[in-house]
Structure formats: structure tokens, C-alpha cells
Structure 1
Amino acid sequence: MKIIASLVLYKHQYQDIKQTLTALFGELSVTKVVIVDNGAHCDWLDDFSHEKLDVIRLPENKGFGAGHNQVFERYSHAAPFILICNPDIAFARGEIDKLYQFSLNGGVGLSIPKVVYPDGSLQHGCKLLPAPYQLFMRRFFANSAGSLNHDYELRLADYSKPFFAPSLSGCFMLISREVLRDVQGFDPRFFMYLEDVDLSRRVSSTEHRVCYCPDSLVVHESQRRSYVDLRFMLYHIVSAIRYFNKWGWLFDRQRKRLNRRCLEKLPLAAD
């Protein structure tokens, strides 16, 4: 086995994830696709089968990270890598294979590919670790946070080259068995949002290599529900409070150290 892909669903219909599933099934490096049905609402799975597919039905929805943790616990021994994949991802054949070879050959324990929006514009999946004011300004005063976002989202980076970033997007993340053994997956206290920041941070604090892969490309629809739905905005706020309660609000030496490590070696785009 090479890669086990993990998808966490909640009340998704087959048409919602058809494109993602088809792409995953078509990759040579993906040996198995495991769907976690949070809350056991996806009845269409009763009649859906594929030689690569396994299904985990959970009676209760305990969140995005907790769902993926079920896959880590049951399958991490079976393959050298697990792919964390959102159900709104699309990619051409061979893109995961490129990410796999990049991680395998480079000894990378945690990586993401180049992520773009459906219109082809870059989605900044590599970021610095956030300070409280950065998340607050981005969420509630987006029109005034231009320069703040510019630095936080590493917009000066040359995305044609690999580089380290301490916060990687969890929409499409390849993680090694050794990393999972050492960091124990997602922190289940984060129901939704910032669980990927927390995980990236913990991996970046170990000896495992964390790296962006410029050779692989995926398309992410990115629904940004917390900007249009009050319930998801509350999830975001609660997660932010839990994140800063865990790592520090005003004083966070580790955040400064990891961000400095990123910026000191960041390849810069040409003007």
C-alpha cells in the first residue's frame, strides 16, 4: 500500500463528492479510499461500492478532525501515508502521484500541493501561524486587512519552489505514518476550523519535515461557510478561542520561532 485517502462527510449526497471520489479512485498511488460518514446520514453509501472503498459509519458527528482520527487509528499501520482530502476537491490524474513521490523522495512528513480556486487563481494554503488580532481582522474587517493578509498568507512567496510553512491547509494534506505516530492526529477539541493550523504547528515543532510541494496541483472550491452562515461563524469563533487558550494569546514564543524559521528561508517571487 502507498496512500490511504480519508474523506469526512456530513449529510453529503453522492453528486456532492462524485468528482472527488472519481479522481481518488483513478490515482495509482491511492490504494484505498475511506469515507467517514459523520452522523450516519449518507444512506446512498448502502448501495455504493468500489474495490478501493471502505466506509466508517459514526453515529455522532464529533467534527472534521475527530472523523479523520478514526481513519488514522484504524488504517495508519497499513500504509506509509494518509491523504486528508476535502469532498470539494478536483484534480487531474497523476497529481497525487506527484505529491507522493515528492514526500517519499524528500523525506517529507507533512505536505500540501499547490491549491487553486476553480478560476485558477492561487489559494494561499501556506500561512504563518496566526496571532489573535490577525484572525480577528481577517474575519470581521477583511477590507481593511490587506497588508496584514499579505504577510500572513505569504503572498511574497515563490510558489514555483518548495518551502516550509508552519500552517498548511487541511483541505488536501499528505501525512506520514511516522508523523501520526508522534503527534496522534488532530486535536478533537476543534470541532471545525483551526484543527489544521494546530496539527501543522505540532508537526512543525518536531523533527519531521514540513514542506509545500509546487509540482502537484489541486482545485478547491472552498465554500467559506463561516462568512455566510452564522452557525459556522460561531464554530470558527469557538475554535479560535480554543486555539489561543491552548497556545497563548499575547505571549507565544513558539509561534514567533516557527514564523521566523519560515520567513528566513522563504523563496521570494520576482517583482
Structure 2
Amino acid sequence: MPRSIWKGAISFGLVTIPIKLYSATEEKDVSFRQVHPEDGGRIKYRRVCEKCDQEIPFAEIAKGYETADGRMVILEKEDFDALPLTTTKSVEVVQFVAEDEVDPTYFAKTYFLEADGPGVKPYVLLRDALIQSGQSAVVKVALRSREAIALIRPKDGVLLMHTMLWPDELRDGAFAAPPAEVTVSEAEVDMARSFIDALSGEFDPSQFTDAYREAIEELVKSKLDGVELPVEAEAPEEAEVVDLVAALRASVEAAKKRREGAEEKKAM
């Protein structure tokens, strides 16, 4: 069982729900070491003070806040503990909204909420009330040395909490929008919708795999075993798209064949 990373309570009106917080995700990216290629030794970094050139142990490193005019303010643990935040050990419900009202761009990280001790019954109360009302709870919470807004929603009998970015942390993407004078025809849109229909279905994340991670693991194994990897044929270069309708029509046919092949493979 994973270890909880935070303990506190949800303030649901005058009802208090003691909870434990667990990370709901773990990244399984390929991990590399920085090494000296001649002998395989790991590269280490020294924490050195830029003023006195002395190496500073991690336990003696303090947090400093640099102001706009270049002055440095040293902050101690006691300073953080004394911050006047009501959310340091409390998850404060501030609003209820429909889940689809929140743009997924805001979501940062997902956590499991577990009822702690006497919190089981009020936990179930909040969970069932959210399910029946079709609402999610917008909350404020302080985690990892920062305050955040978050969304609590029920899923598979558990309450999930998605921490969210603040509005000023989202970049304006207007620069990426195509020029307004660029338009497409109804025939092109219809064919694009046909392609969407050909690939539409229920989302099943288990059918997807990380091909890059698998390829790296295979490469590492081949090097350990002293065996050359088989050379794969190069993919043919794609021709420049001139006729969007013709390209989409071909895409629809390819998608249909791929789906038929996948269904035949699943039936075997």
C-alpha cells in the first residue's frame, strides 16, 4: 500500500472530514544517468556558493526570495510555519460546479483522498451527495509549499482531487490560432467528420502502450546481450497533401481497415 503524502481535513460546511492524501499517478518515463563514457562513472554535481566558493551540505541550504531590485530575503522553516493560511491542514470547499465546466488545461496533478478514522461516514456523505447532484467541489488547499485551487470529484467509489493551476499560470494561446482568412469547404469538413466517425469509440487506455519506452528497454537488453537490433525498413516519405478531400478519403479507408483488423485480432 502506498504511503500518504499529506494529512488534513475537508471542511464541508460545518462538517469536518479527516483525510489522507495519496498520489494517484506515477510517471514511468525512461530514466537515464549522466555518465563518463570512458569508464561509466556517474557524473556528480557539487552545491557551491557563488560568493565564497565553498561546497554547502544540503541540510545547510536555506530558501531565499530574490526581490525585483536584486535584494535577497532568507526564509526559515519557522517563517513558512507561521504563514496565516487556513488551508495548510484543511481542504476548504468554496464552490460546487459541474465537472465539464472546468477546462482540463487547468489540471496539474491527481490525488486519491482516503477517509481517516472518524471521517468515513462524512466522506461517504460527500461522495454520494456529489454523485447524486452531478457536481464537483472546488476547494483551496496548501500542498508542497504552495496554495492551490483543486477539484474534488467522485470516481469508482473514491474521491479524487485534481490540483489546478492559477489563471495567471495559463499562457495565452491566441498566437497559435490560424489566420481568420483561412477557411475550409463543407465537403472537406464532411470528409473530416467521416474520418472522426471511423475512429470513434469508447476510450480504453489499456489498448495504448509506450512504444518509445519499449524500444529503449529492447535496445538496452540488446546491448547487455551483445546482440544487434534488427534493422527496420524506413517508412516511405509522405507525399505533400494537395487535395484535402482525397487525402481524408484515403484516411477514412485506412482507418476502417485498421479497425476491422483490430476487431478480428480481438475475436481470435
Give the TM interval when normalised to the shorter protein: under 0.3
By relative contact order (CA 8 Å, sep 6+), the higher-ranking structure is: 1
- Higher Rg of the two aligned structures: 2
What TM-score does the superposition give when structure 2 sets the normalisation length? Answer: 0.21
Which has the larger helix fraction? Answer: 1
